[in-house]
Amino acid sequence: MHAWPASEVPALPGQGRGLRIHDTATGGRVTLDPGPVARIYVCGITPYDATHMGHAATYNAFDLVQRVWLDTKRQVHYVQNVTDVDDPLLERADKTGDDWTALAERETALFREDMTALRMLPPRHYIGAVESIPGIVPLVERLRDAGAAYELDGDIYFSVESDAHFGEVSGLDAAAMRLLSAERGGDPEREGKKNPLDPMLWMAARDGEPSWDGGSLGRGRPGWHIECVAIALDHLGMGFDVQGGGSDLAFPHHEMGASHAQALTGEHPFARAYVHAGMVALNGEKMSKSKGNLVFVSTVRRDGTDPAAIRLALLAHHYRADWEWTDDVLSEAEARLARWRAAVSRPDGPPADALLEAVRNALADDLDSPTALASVDAWAADQDADGGTDESAPGLVSRTVDALLGVAL
Ligand code: 5CA
Ligand code: ZN
**Distance from the alpha carbon of residue 207 to the mean position of ligand 2, in angstroms:** 26
Q: Is-above-0.95 flag for pTM?
A: yes
User: Which residues approach ligand 1 with their CB closer than 6 A?
Assistant: 43-46, 54-55, 57-58, 81, 83, 228, 245-246, 248-249, 277, 279-280, 286-288
Number of other residues whose CB lies within 10 A of the CB of residue 62: 26
Asked if domains 20-297 and 305-405 share a fold, the reply is: no
Residue ranges per structural domain of the chain: 20-297, 305-405
Nearest CA owner, ligand 1 atom 22: 54
Q: How far apart are CA 89 and CA 172, in angstroms?
A: 29
| Residues 6+ away with beta carbon under 8 Å from 44 | 80, 81, 82, 83, 126
Among residues 195, 205, 252, 201, the alpha carbon closest in space to that of 230 is found at 201
- For domain 305-405, the CATH architecture is Up-down Bundle (1.20)
Omega cis (within 30) before 47: no
How far, in Å, CA of 350 to CA of 161, rounded? 61
Q: What is the per-residue pLDDT for 291? A: 82
- Is residue 82 a known part of a binding site? yes
Write b or e for each residue in 129-157: b if 16 or more Cβ atoms lie within 10 A of its Cβ, otherwise e. bbebbeebbebbbebbeeebbbeeeebbb
The CATH homologous superfamily to which domain 20-297 belongs is HUPs (3.40.50.620)
Report the run of H or E that residue 282 belongs to, with start and end.
strand 280-282
226 is in an annotated binding site: no
CB 267 within 8 A of CB 239: yes
List the chain pLDDT tens, one digit each, 409 residues. Answer: 999 999 999 999 999 999 999 999 999 999 998 999 999 999 999 999 999 999 999 999 999 999 999 999 999 999 999 999 999 999 999 999 999 999 999 999 999 999 999 999 999 999 999 999 999 999 999 999 999 999 999 999 999 999 999 999 999 999 999 999 999 999 999 999 999 999 999 999 999 999 999 999 999 999 999 999 999 999 999 999 999 999 999 999 999 999 999 999 999 999 999 999 999 999 899 988 778 889 999 999 999 999 999 999 999 999 999 999 999 999 999 999 999 999 999 999 999 999 999 999 999 999 999 999 999 999 999 999 999 899 999 999 999 999 999 999 9
Are 331 and 337 spatial neighbours (Cβ–Cβ below 8 Å)?
no
Q: Which of 41, 47, 5 is nearest to 272 (CA)?
A: 41
Is 58 annotated among the ligand-binding residues? yes
Write down the pLDDT at residue 288: 83
Region of 375 (left: φ > 0; alpha: ψ -120 to 50; beta: rest) is alpha
φ, ψ of residue 79 in degrees (nearest 5) = -120, 135
Which numbered ligand comes closest to the C-alpha of 58? 1
Q: What number does the ligand 1 atom closest to the CA of 55 have?
A: 14
